[in-house]
Amino acid sequence: MERIVVGVDGSEESLHAVTFAARLARETGAGVTVVYVRHIPAGYSGRPLVGPAELEQYYRTVERRVTRRVVRALTPLTVPWDLEVGHGDVAREVQRVARERGADLIVVGTRRQGPLARLLAGSVSSRVVHHADRPVLLVR
């Protein structure tokens, strides 16, 4: 195994997936690519809820927070890793990065959602599993 791609959104579940991927990478000699995706919050009209300046500030703030948490999780594990920021649909971007990097495995965290939450919000991990062209490991 040479490359593991792991999706992260800053949640505890995604950070658990990052740690799991790093431990697996350490055991196999693989590198880790952490993927954070900027997605545009939209209202019912499909238009962004905030203006471009506010949205950019939001993205920068969240990216800094996620990066700090990823660094804290990965530093003690001493594996080679990098961070890639994508834009758009989270599941598609994680898959795109996996294809471009030639990943052997995609790792994503999964939340415990009830049936109604899954129906209303969907699940990034479900979309990755159903559309990925390589193995996917779900970490809870």
Q: CA-CA distance, 9 to 4, in Å (whole number)?
A: 17
Closest CA to 77 of 125, 126, 133, 23: 23
Residue 115 domain boundaries: 3-139
pLDDT of 110 higher than 70: yes
Instruction: Categorize the per-residue pLDDT at 44 as very low, low, confident or very high, splitting at 50, 70 and 90.
Output: very low
Domain count, the chain: 1
Of the candidates 18, 22, 46, which has an alpha carbon nearest to the alpha carbon of residue 109?
Answer: 18
Label residue 88 by pLDDT band (50, 70, 90): confident
Residues 6+ apart with CB under 8 A from 33: 3, 4, 5, 6, 81, 82, 83, 84, 97, 101, 103
Residue 47 binned pLDDT confidence (cut-offs 50, 70, 90) = low
Instruction: Judge whether 31 and 81 are in contact, CB under 8 Å.
Output: yes
- CA 20, chain centre distance (Å): 13
For the beta carbon of residue 9, count every other beta carbon within 10 angstroms: 18
Region for 50 from its dihedrals, namely left if φ exceeds 0, alpha if ψ lies in -120 to 50, beta otherwise: beta
Q: How many CA atoms lie within 13 A of 71 on its CB side?
A: 6
How big is the CA angle at 12 (ends 10 and 14), to the nearest 5 degrees? 60
Say whether pLDDT at 108 is over 90. Answer: yes
The pLDDT tens digits for 61-82 are: 989 999 999 999 999 999 999 9
Indicate the pTM of the whole model. Answer: 0.84
Q: What is the CATH number of the domain that holds 75?
A: 3.40.50.620
Q: How far is CA 83 from CA 36, 88, 100, 122, 133, in A?
A: 7, 16, 14, 25, 21
